[in-house]
């Protein structure tokens, strides 16, 4: 009897330990496709026994996961909306934003496209459908093929806010699952145009177009001269604790920020 | 730490002073951005501050309201009114039904919800306290038991989708409405004249507007409506107009019969209105045509020949041309308007005869003219504002349709003329006290026997309304 109790206690302890070491991270594709998986791999190398469950299905899902308590860290490429913060507060969740890196939403076109520059006004006209042909913005005649993120994406709503004066996307625009898909489509389509995070601008077949003379470089983004720059976030319920706090600390450490830079994002320091 | 505390104290103090958490939270975005740009706050401090400002939003009234993400703006508005009404009505001819002398205590509530779905689309519904087409009043004390609620109902008075755009055919604005909708036709008069102000049409309405036509600040508006009067849903079950065909079998000599409905197709009855309005800041004129496009038997649920004949007389021979006009000026710092409408039913003689005696022509003094003329002084906007109106009306016995007329004057019927006097005073910007007096007389003094009551006006009618209205 005594032995059985000892074994049972040991099993329970093991199970509890194992579950405590699993970090659930949900949210943004911008962060979750490359950066966070790389950070987690590096983190695991020095924190044995820790496992990660990473789901990158859009910023909205990350913020919702914090509100619902289904993740320790919510990744988001946009700020939580007023309604999301208040909905969380109503459930006793104190939404805590932590800036983990910066991003510049880069405008990409096919590398064979002769266009070399855009103004902010032209970008608004293109993505809202005010103009439909490349000839209207100095390109060769041909109808725009506009590639955007899907509606659960933080990038999708940030782009509306920053580049389109909150207007609706052109009805002809095509929604893609992630940055990589947008870059791939633009790389194949001479009439393609889209926006991706800076981590994806080196995709084959695409080139980045400056906006009013500004490119999404580290200096331009940090100085906020690039018009489509934004911070990227981890969200937690209140001040982070436990393994989540350690992972966030690692993300913000020199080692973590080196990975941020390596992936293509702009570090916080 | 002390510096941080001071920054927070300053911004949160602003919130407290503003005492409108959400407004301040949203308005603080540019302020925080500026503080970050100037290096007074770090990016992280700015983000913490944004969340802090938004956190309490959920405890405010707007924060508790969960509105669909498709809605870009939601407007909730309505009005409530309590009314004392005295009716003194004599029938025409004397001795027929509708002789009455009564006091009524009434209330009206209308509650509307309008949701913008982006810049071009809107959907709206309005709940009203009565089911009549030309009235939203419910009577107090009308229930079978004292103070019971069995005569108090809520109805959908409006339910429609609205599309607005510009540039169509070079226009400055286009307005398309579908459903049970409020109209935009220019219709000057107390409570509306040729369209009762309580009517919400059912169908489609269009408006196209051009600005600065000839005179700077002018508008040229073209409006049209195609409204369903009856979808003839009762048609499928009707046997009243059935036709029986007999056939003789050439071999056996047996006679067989086949009964079919003579009008199996469903032809909706329509009311068509077209209006062209030219308006400047001072005057407005709007030639209009109102016509029925109705099948000969409008109401297929009318199961007797007499009812069908009566129905036919109401829904045919209407092609009334109207020219409403209004001129506005300032008199003693208050607006002063002269308005008038002249109308003539092109089919008025046929209509008058039908209404007098059914399908067969009857001897009757046909009167195809409908007109009003009035003056209006003042307006009700601010506390202490007042408005006075005096109006004369004439509605000939073949001039128009009782389905559309203002129901408060002459019972909303034809064959009447008289005056309306109205005065209103604003107790606050939302509360208005109004008294209105209607006095009408029949024009053709004795109608032929068998005249359809739907068309015939009262011999005399006096109505006094005393209202207290609240807008919210």
The alpha carbons of chain B give a radius of gyration, in whole angstroms, of: 29
Q: Measured between alpha carbons, how far is residue B428 from residues B91, B425, B470 in Å?
A: 40, 9, 9
Q: What ipTM was reported for this prediction?
A: 0.76
Question: Using alpha carbons only, what angle is made at residue B112 by residues B107 and B113, rounded to the nearest 5 degrees?
Answer: 160
- Of the candidates A82, A86, A97, the beta carbon closest to that of B48 is on A97
In the predicted model, what is the mean pLDDT of residues A96-111?
A: 95
Question: Do A231 and B47 make contact, defined as CB atoms within 8 angstroms?
Answer: yes
B-side interface with A, Cβ within 8 Å? 22, 25-26, 37, 43-44, 47-48, 50-51, 54-59, 63, 66, 118
State the nearest Cα–Cα gap between A187 and chain B, in angstroms: 33
State the nearest Cα–Cα gap between B126 and chain A, in angstroms: 27
- Residues of chain A with Cβ-Cβ distance to B59 below 8 Å are 86, 89
CB of A98 within 8 Å of a chain B CB? The answer is: yes
Residues near A152 by beta carbon (within 8 Å), at least 6 away in sequence? A57, A58, A59, A60, A61
- Residues of chain A with Cβ-Cβ distance to B51 below 8 Å are 80, 85, 95-97
Please check whether residue B395 is in contact with residue B410, taking contact to mean a CB–CB distance below 8 angstroms. yes
> Using H for helix, E for strand and C for coil, what is the string for chain A?
CHHHHHHHHHHHHHHHHHHHCEEEEEECHHHHCCHHHHHHHHHHHHCCCCEEEEEECCHHHHHHHHHHCCCCEEEECCCCCHHHHHHHHHCCCCEEEEEEEEEECEEEEECCCCCCCECHHHHHHHHHCCCCEHHHHCCCCCECEEEEECCCCHHHHHHHHHHCCCCCCCCCCEEECCHHHHHHHHHHCCCEEEEECHHHCCCCCEEECCECCECCCHHHHHCCCCCCEEEEEEEEECCCCHHHHHHHHHHHCHHHHHHHHHHCCECCC
CB of A79 within 8 Å of a chain B CB? The answer is: yes
Q: What is the C-alpha to C-alpha distance for residues B425 and B389, in angstroms, rounded to an integer?
A: 12
State the nearest Cα–Cα gap between B105 and chain A, in angstroms: 46
- Of the candidates A86, A97, A233, the beta carbon closest to that of B57 is on A86
Backbone φ and ψ of A35, nearest 5°: -60, -55
Q: What is the C-alpha to C-alpha distance for residues B199 and A165, in angstroms, rounded to an integer?
A: 40
- Of the candidates B25, B59, B118, the beta carbon closest to that of A82 is on B25
Q: What is the C-alpha to C-alpha distance for residues A240 and A252, in angstroms, rounded to an integer?
A: 13
CB of A168 within 8 Å of a chain B CB? The answer is: yes
Q: Measured between alpha carbons, how far is residue B286 from residues B187, B278, B306, B322 in Å?
A: 9, 6, 38, 8
pLDDT in tens, B77-115: 999 999 999 999 887 766 666 678 899 999 999 999 999
End-to-end CA distance of chain B: 49
| DSSP category for residue B59 | G
Question: Do B54 and A90 make contact, defined as CB atoms within 8 angstroms?
Answer: no
Beta bridge mates, B10: none
- Residues of chain A with Cβ-Cβ distance to B118 below 8 Å are 168
Question: Do B58 and A97 make contact, defined as CB atoms within 8 angstroms?
Answer: no
- Of the candidates B22, B44, B48, the beta carbon closest to that of A82 is on B22
B67: closest chain A residue by CA: A83
A166: closest chain B residue by CA: B118
CB of A239 within 8 Å of a chain B CB? The answer is: no
- Residues of chain B with Cβ-Cβ distance to A99 below 8 Å are 43-44, 47
Question: Do A99 and B25 make contact, defined as CB atoms within 8 angstroms?
Answer: no
| CB-defined contacts A:B, below 8 A | 52
- Of the candidates A86, A90, A233, the beta carbon closest to that of B54 is on A86
Sign of CA dihedral B360, B361, B363, B369: positive
Please check whether residue B313 is in contact with residue B452, taking contact to mean a CB–CB distance below 8 angstroms. yes
State the nearest Cα–Cα gap between A119 and chain B, in angstroms: 23
- Residues of chain B with Cβ-Cβ distance to A231 below 8 Å are 43, 47
pLDDT by residue for chain B (472 residues), tens digit each? 444 555 555 554 444 444 444 455 555 777 888 888 888 889 999 989 888 888 776 677 777 777 887 898 999 999 999 999 999 988 776 666 667 889 999 999 999 999 999 889 999 999 999 999 999 999 999 888 888 888 899 999 999 999 999 988 999 999 999 999 999 999 999 999 999 999 999 999 999 999 999 999 999 999 999 999 876 654 444 444 556 667 777 777 777 777 665 555 556 788 999 999 999 999 999 999 999 987 655 555 555 666 656 666 677 889 999 999 999 999 999 999 999 999 999 999 888 877 776 545 556 678 999 999 999 999 999 999 999 999 999 999 899 998 899 999 998 888 899 999 999 999 999 999 999 999 999 888 765 444 445 566 788 899 999 999 999 9
């Amino acid at each position: 009897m005594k032995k059985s109790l000892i074994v049972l206690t040991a099993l329970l302890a093991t199970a509890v330990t194992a579950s405590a070491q699993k970090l659930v991270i949900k949210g943004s594709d911008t962060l979750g496709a490359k950066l966070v998986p790389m950070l987690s791999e590096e983190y695991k190398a020095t924190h044995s026994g820790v496992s990660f469950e990473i789901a990158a299905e859009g910023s909205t899902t990350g913020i919702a996961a914090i509100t619902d308590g289904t993740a320790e860290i919510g990744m988001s490429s946009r700020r939580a909306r007023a309604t999301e913060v208040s909905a969380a507060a109503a459930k006793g969740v104190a939404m805590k934003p932590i800036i983990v890196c910066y991003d510049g939403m880069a405008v990409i076109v096919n590398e064979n496209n002769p266009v070399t520059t855009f103004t902010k006004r032209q970008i608004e006209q293109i993505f809202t459908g005010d103009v439909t042909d490349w000839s209207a913005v100095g390109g060769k005649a041909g109808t725009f093929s506009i590639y955007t993120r899907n509606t659960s994406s933080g990038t999708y709503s940030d782009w509306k806010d920053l580049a389109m004066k909150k207007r609706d996307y052109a009805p002809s625009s095509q929604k893609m699952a992630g940055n990589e898909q947008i870059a791939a489509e633009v790389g194949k389509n001479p009439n393609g145009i889209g926006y991706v995070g800076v981590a994806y601008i080196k995709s084959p077949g695409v080139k980045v177009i400056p906006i009013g003379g500004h490119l999404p470089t580290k200096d331009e983004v940090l100085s906020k001269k690039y018009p489509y720059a934004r911070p990227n976030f981890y969200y937690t319920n209140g001040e982070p604790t436990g393994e989540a706090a350690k992972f966030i600390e690692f993300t913000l450490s020199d080692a973590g920020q080196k990975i941020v830079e390596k992936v293509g994002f702009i570090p916080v320091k | 730490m002390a510096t941080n505390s001071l920054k927070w104290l300053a911004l949160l103090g602003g919130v407290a002073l503003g005492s409108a958490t959400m407004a301040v939270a949203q308005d603080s975005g540019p302020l925080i951005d500026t503080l970050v740009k100037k290096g007074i706050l770090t990016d992280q401090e700015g983000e913490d501050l944004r969340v802090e400002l938004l956190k309490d939003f959920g405890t405010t009234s707007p924060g508790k309201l969960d509105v669909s993400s498709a809605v870009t703006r939601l407007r909730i508005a309505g009005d409530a009114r309590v009314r004392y009404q005295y009716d003194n009505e004599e029938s025409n001819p004397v001795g027929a039904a509708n002789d009455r002398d009564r006091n009524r205590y009434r209330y009206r509530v209308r509650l509307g919800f309008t949701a913008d779905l982006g810049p071009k689309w809107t959907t709206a519904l309005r709940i009203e306290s009565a089911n009549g087409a030309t009235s939203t009043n419910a009577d107090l004390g009308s229930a079978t038991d004292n103070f019971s609620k069995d005569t108090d109902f809520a109805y959908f008075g409006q339910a429609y989708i609205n599309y607005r755009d510009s540039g169509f055919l070079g226009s400055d604005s286009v307005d398309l409405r579908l459903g049970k909708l409020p109209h935009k036709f220019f219709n000057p008069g107390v409570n509306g004249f040729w369209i009762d102000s309580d009517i919400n049409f059912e169908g489609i309405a269009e408006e196209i507007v051009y600005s600065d036509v000839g005179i700077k600040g002018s508008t040229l508006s073209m409006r049209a409506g195609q409204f369903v009067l009856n979808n003839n849903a009762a048609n499928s079950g009707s046997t009243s107009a059935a036709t029986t065909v007999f056939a003789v079998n050439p071999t056996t000599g047996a006679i067989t019969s086949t009964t079919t409905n003579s009008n199996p197709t469903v032809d909706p009855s329509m009311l068509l209105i077209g209006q062209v309005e030219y308006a400047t800041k001072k005057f407005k004129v709007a030639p209009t045509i109102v016509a029925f496009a109705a099948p000969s038997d409008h109401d297929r649920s009318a199961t007797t020949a007499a009812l069908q004949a009566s129905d036919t007389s109401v829904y045919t021979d209407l092609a009334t041309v109207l020219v409403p006009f209004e001129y506005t000026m300032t008199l003693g710092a208050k607006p002063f308007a002269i308005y008038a409408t002249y109308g003539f039913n092109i089919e008025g003689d046929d209509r008058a005869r039908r209404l007098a005696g059914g399908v067969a022509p009857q001897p009757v003094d046909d009167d195809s003219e409908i007109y009003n003329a009035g003056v209006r002084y003042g307006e009700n906007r601010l506390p202490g504002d007042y408005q006075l109106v005096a109006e004369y009306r004439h509605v000939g016995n073949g001039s128009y349709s009782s389905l559309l007329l203002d129901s408060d004057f002459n019972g909303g019927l034809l064959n009447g003329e008289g005056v309306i006097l109205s005065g209103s005073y604003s107790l606050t910007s939302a509360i208005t006290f109004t008294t209105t007096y209607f006095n009408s007389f029949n024009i053709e003094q004795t109608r032929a026997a068998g005249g359809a009551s739907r068309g015939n006006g009262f011999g005399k009618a006096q109505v006094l309304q005393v209202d207290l209205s609240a807008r919210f």
